[in-house]
Amino acid sequence: MTKLFVILFCTILFLSKSYALDSQAKQIQINCYVDFEFNQINFNGKKLDECIRKYFLKNEIISIDVFASSDSFGKRNRNKKLSDDRIMSIKKYLIKNYPKIPVSIYEPEEDKQYSSMGIVRLKMVDKNSKLGKYLLAKKNKQYDSLNYFSFLSGAGYSAANISDTKYTGYNVFLKFMFPFSHDYNWFYGVGVRYQNLSFNNNSKTINNSDINFNSFQTGLDLAYFFKTSLVDFVINPFAYFGFYNSFTRTITQSDGTAITASPSILNHISLGASANILFKASHFYFGPGASYSTSYLQFNNYQDDNGVSYNGISNFYKSWNINFTLGCYL
């Protein structure tokens, strides 16, 4: 019973200390006056950056509150609200350039000092103070667990042209993506892909010839995520190496006898890029995508079970994929 009381007391003490630190932080703020500049709808944040960065190095900025009025600051525009598009432009700019800092946008208020101009209110604390170190550690812990890792998977239709022969089939892939430090638009990662391609001549005058090309590949991915609130547009260059490949030719004779031949593949390397439109729901992705790649395939001459010889391949081929992607971001 005594131990339970001690644990309960320590928990209450810790929570009280955390609440006190948070409450104290809310009382520390400074106002910066900024004339908002726009190029059409797009926001030019140079002056706003100067204001924020003036305090950014020495202080841990807890939040940014923006009070925005019309970009024409004459008397006839006093208290005039900015258009929703322009307010959103300011918010997107701040979120992109200061991703760890919460941002709020407020409408102008009558009879207030900032009714006819822009004011940015920074809530902050000295980074070297006990309070600043506590808030910085707390915020980084919360942020690092959010939007730090992306997992993508998908499947779809495949087509390729190998030595002037058209193949069709399907593909399945998995990708694990991580953001570059301090940039949550550029990602790098590793991926695996399985591709199954086949060809059938369905000849009625000669023996049927079926070719099946299976490839398990792995490699490196680089991706740029153009992020919006509802959908992400992703461009993803990649370089993959086929670590397990099989190329099987099956000749079915008129009497139903099947003769097979399968060469040993020496090299299979793919370079390409994909584009995806990923809709977001909670922490999940879904949407269509397409990819194009150029691959190098090499294998020597080979023979079938009856001793018939076939030429090897040592050249490049092109392939296309149309996929549906599912994933999540954590």
How high is the pLDDT of residue 140? 61
pLDDT tens-digit profile of 195-221?
Answer: 999 998 765 545 667 899 999 999 999
Structural domains present in the chain: 27-143 (3.30.1330), 150-329 (2.40.160.20)
Distance CA 228, CA 187 (A): 16
The residues near 258 (Cβ < 8 Å, ≥ 6 apart) are 250, 251, 252
pLDDT tens-digit profile of 99-146?
Answer: 777 777 766 555 454 444 566 777 777 766 776 666 666 666 554 444
Residue range 300-320: average pLDDT? Answer: 89
Tokens 């102008």, residue located = 108
Q: Is pTM, for the whole model, over 0.85?
A: no
How high is the pLDDT of residue 12? 43
User: pLDDT at residue 72 above 50?
Assistant: no
Distances from the Cα of 50 to the Cα of 2, 55, 73, 93, 307, angstroms: 56, 9, 20, 14, 78
The encoded tokens of residue 57 equal 């190095």
The encoded tokens of residue 116 equal 């006819």
Residue range 177-191: average pLDDT? Answer: 82
Cα angle value 190/193/194 (rounded, 5°): 160
